[in-house]
Amino acid sequence: MSHDHSLNPEVMPENPEKATLEGKNKFLGFWFFLGGETVLFASLFGTYLALKGSNGSGPTAEELFGLELVFIMTMLLLTSSLTSVYAMYHMKNNDFGKMQLWLGITVLLGLGFLGCELYEFYHYIHGEDFTFRSSAFGSAFYTLVGFHGGHVAFGLLWITTLMVRNAKRGLNLYNAPKFYIASLYWHFIDVVWVFIFTVVYLIGKVG
């Protein structure tokens, strides 16, 4: 149970993200945090499902949603999850350069997703006159999708900070867990989007 760990070891262990006690703690703690996040999003989904028909005199989900843009967004985010897997693959092979490259691609794809979402919201607000204050449906929609978007934005800031901070010193047992949990977070965001895509957009359009 020693807390000792040396920086920049010559050979990285097989699972650098949990080779130290500190890493193990971060790894486990973050999984628990994601458990809490699951309840957070479950509560938001429950609220949305209860209110999705309460659109008053405003537009309904079926009138609003266009699946083309949402399809592009889904592809961007799913791909970004894949690229973050590549990044972790290279982390485990102790190839810092390639890890940074794939994380960079992940960030770009995430930015693309966020840009589409902002465009979507802008379109609803100015084109369809559908806002946060339009109806309970509007409030629930922007809250659920907006919470997810906020998570995406936070994740992008997080990964970028990690990349910039560690650019010059490479991979070690101190920052490997940090990269790893950032990628876990990114997968979680992706999973939540799959549910949003299904529950909000697909069911909204055809359900």
Partner 1 sequence: MSTAVTHKKGFGAFLWDYITTVDHKKIAHLYLIAGGLFFLIGGLEAMLIRIQLIKPANDFVSAGFYNEILTMHGTTMIFLAAMPIIFGLMNAVVPLQIGARDVAFPFLNSLGFWLFLFGGLLLNASWFLGGAPDAGWTAYAPLSTTSPGHGVDFYILGLQISGAGTLMGGINFLVTIINMRAPGMTYMRMPLFTWTIFVTSVLILFAFPALTVGLFLLMFDRMFGSGFFDPTMGGNSVIWEHLFWIFGHPEVYILILPVFGVFSEVMSTFAKKRLFGYTAMVFATVLIGFLGFMVWAHHMFTVGLGPAANSIFAVATMAIAVPTGIKIFNWLLTLWGGNITVNSAMLWSLGFLPTFTIGGTTGVMLAAAAADYQYHDSYFVVAHFHYVIVGGVVFGIFAALHYWWPKMFGKILNEKLGKLTFWLFFIGFHLTFFIQHFLGLMGMPRRYWVFLPDQGLDTGNLISTIGAFFMAAGTIVFLINVISTSVKKQEVAGDPWDGRTLEWSIPSPPEHYNFKQLPLVRGLDPLWVEKTEGRKEMTPAEPLGDIHMPNNSILPFVMSLGFFIAGFGFIYQVDDLSWLTAVFVGMGIALGAMFVRSVKDDLGYHIHKEDLEKGAK
Task: For the chain, list the strands marked E by DSSP.
Answer: none
d(CA 199, CA 126): 24
Instruction: Kindly state whether residue 100 participates in binding partner 1, applying the rule CB under 8 A.
Output: no
Closer CB to partner 1, 76 or 189, in the complex: 189
Give me the least distance between CB of 153 and partner 1, in Å please: 12
Give me the least distance between CB of 124 and partner 1, in Å please: 15
Give me the least distance between CB of 133 and partner 1, in Å please: 4
Instruction: Kindly state whether residue 126 participates in binding partner 1, applying the rule CB under 8 A.
Output: no
Work out the angle at residue 190's Cα, subtended by the Cα atoms of residues 185 and 192, and round it to the nearest 5 degrees: 95
The DSSP 8-state label assigned to residue 120 in this structure reads H
- Residue for token pair 């920049």: 8
Closer CB to partner 1, 78 or 153, in the complex: 153
Closer CB to partner 1, 38 or 93, in the complex: 38
Give me the least distance between CB of 135 and partner 1, in Å please: 5
Instruction: Kindly state whether residue 167 participates in binding partner 1, applying the rule CB under 8 A.
Output: no
Residues from 8 through 67 that contact partner 1 (CB under 8 A): 21, 24-25, 28-29, 32-33, 35-37, 39-40, 43-44, 46-47, 50-51, 53-56
